[in-house]
Amino acid sequence: MRLHTINKNLVSLAQQQYLHCHLCEHHCGSNRAKGERGKCKASAEARVFRHRVEYGEEIELVPSHLFYLSGCDLRCAFCIAEEKAFNPRIGTILSTDFLEAALEQGISKGARNLQWVGGEPTIHLPAILEAMSGCANLPPVVWKSDFYGTPEAFQLLEQTVDVFVADFKFGNDVCAKRIAKVDSYVKILQRNLKQVSQYSDLIVRHLLLPGHEECCFRPIVDWISSTLPDVKFSIRNGYLPRWQAKQYEELSMPLVKGASESAKVYAENRGLNLIT
């Protein structure tokens, strides 16, 4: 990983999205600079509702300094961040001064990188690039995303991000629509993963959901095995029935005993490059 700076021209290019936003696949076209709000409800300001050095990420990333931005383009019923993920007006406004001061704290605690999480960072891409562009010593950048962004959005990140962490949540469009309220989910995720894998280090992460092994986990594993067999794959077993999960019968319960071990065996048998 490398220390790097952000090109001011790249920031200006990204900021054009505020006038006609197509950062995510909702393609709302909102003029965020004039107060129009799309499905994510985000403005031209990004807000951080929490930042801290964490050790629960994949081993190759920790300790990682996570910056949680409010606002999201998905509406996952089981979101552990709950209302903070969906209200882009919660938190401290992101600025270079705020970011530099926070990064100093993180470095003093041993952080190896700066990781943008959410909510969803991609909807705040221009503000994030602007804040980072003013930092004198920017650490390696990790971008944890739901990957529902547009190709144009990921292209803006091509020279900036060292590692992408993609949350591949659903293995079919029915579950994605029912639980996260988004359309054409699988096609969009697969397209973006193939794009990013060509130029960046990529970790595909899947959170095991109760009752979704056959419909979601296995189709995701099968596709990765056949299309991106060398990509790093991370199985997460920390599901909790939070937020609005209890509105869905299967999601109201924790994972059944042995679900994680069964998932690992299936992924290993399909030849995936498992990491922890």
Asked if 1 contacts 140 with a C-beta cutoff of 8 angstroms, the reply is yes
Q: Is 72 annotated as a binding residue?
A: yes
Backbone angles phi, psi at 257, to 5 degrees: -60, 130
Q: Is 24 annotated as a binding residue?
A: no
- Separation CA 171–CA 98 (nearest Å): 38
From the centroid of its chain, how far is CA 199? Answer: 17
Backbone angles phi, psi at 53, to 5 degrees: -80, 130
- Separation CA 149–CA 121 (nearest Å): 10
Q: Coil, strand, or helix at residue 193? A: helix
How many Cα atoms sit within 13 Å of 199 on the Cβ side?
11
- Separation CA 190–CA 78 (nearest Å): 22
Backbone angles phi, psi at 95, to 5 degrees: -145, 170
Q: Is 21 annotated as a binding residue?
A: no
Which residues sit in the known binding site for [4Fe-4S] cluster?
A: 72, 76, 79
Which residues sit in the known binding site?
A: 72, 76, 79
